Amino acid sequence: MNYKEMAELVKGWVEEAGDLLRESLQNTSLKVEEKTNPSDLVTEMDKSIEAFYVEKIRAHFPDHKIYGEEGTYDEINDLDGFIWVIDPIDGTLNYVKQKSNFCSMLALFKDGEGVLAFINDVIHEDVYYSVQGEGVYCNERRLEPIEEHPLKEGLLAINTKMALSEMEEAQQLIDEALGVRLIGSAGLEMVQVLMNRVSAYVTTPLQTWDIAPGYVMAQELGLTFTQRTGEPIDLMKKNAILIANPLAHKEIVKTFIN
Ligand code: IPD
Ligand code: CA
Ligand code: CA
């Protein structure tokens, strides 16, 4: 099976996960548990969607490794071979409290290079996906490459933790941009940059599953996606990220280099 055929197959799984998640919004007795603190939640749907992806991957690609947020870890000591990265619900707090502003994400890497990526914006029924070298699609529509522009011509997205714990840096960047937007789902925030609705997204350290598909898709659209210090992303650890068009990226990175 080539990558395009794989993408068609996996898009079906991601769409099915979206259907299950939309149906689950009617469930009035959803099981919700705390993980590390009261705002770090996991629901029965986080677990069952991850299990759903894992079952499909194991059945079709038994030799591939899996790295999933909700506990499915094969032993991964390096990036050799095929590795699937799963974030079954990104923005679980939004899923529980807002019943919107969450997504489901999957990415496939081969020897550390992103080859397939999927982000399902469940409420809007928009599936973003990419195949290496073939661009990024939203459902049937191919996304336009993004033209370079300075931060002062666009909006800035940051994650909540950055807004709260790094106020000086956040303020400096917000002053530069036309305005700031916070959603609470790294996946949907990265989509905003892919769609050129915001010009940059900057964060405190995030897990690999939070960033994997956005990282893969950014490369297809001519966006620069690095650690916010400008260093390359290291998929084996957490990364504080900066995704932007190359010009805005060059401007923003200065804030984080000392
Ligand atoms: C969270 C969201 C959020 C980000 C957090 C992530 P989760 O993912 O992406 O925007 O700021 O750091 O943990 O836990 O809902 O999958
Ligand atoms: Ca996440
Ligand atoms: Ca999650």
| Ligand 1 in reach of 186 Cβ (< 6 A) | yes
Nearest CA to ligand 1 atom 1: 91
- Ligand 2 centroid from CA 181, angstroms: 18
Test site for ligand 1: of 183, 206, 241, most ligand atoms within 8 A of the Cβ: 206
pLDDT 10s digit of each residue in the chain, 258 long? 999 999 999 999 999 999 999 999 998 889 999 999 998 889 999 999 999 999 999 999 999 999 999 998 888 999 999 999 999 999 999 999 999 999 999 999 999 999 999 999 999 999 999 999 999 999 999 999 999 999 999 999 999 999 999 999 999 999 999 999 999 999 999 999 999 999 999 999 999 999 999 999 999 999 999 999 999 999 999 999 999 999 999 999 999 987
Give the pLDDT of residue 72: 80
Q: What is the pLDDT of residue 28?
A: 86
Pocket test for ligand 1, best of 34, 96, 160, 185 (most atoms within 8 A of CB): 185
Check residue 118 and give its pLDDT. Answer: 98
| Full-model pTM | 0.96
Question: What per-residue confidence (pLDDT) applies to 83?
Answer: 98
d(CA 67, CA 96): 24
Domains, the chain, ranges and CATH? 3-142 (3.30.540.10), 151-257 (3.40.190.80)
Q: What per-residue confidence (pLDDT) applies to 39?
A: 87
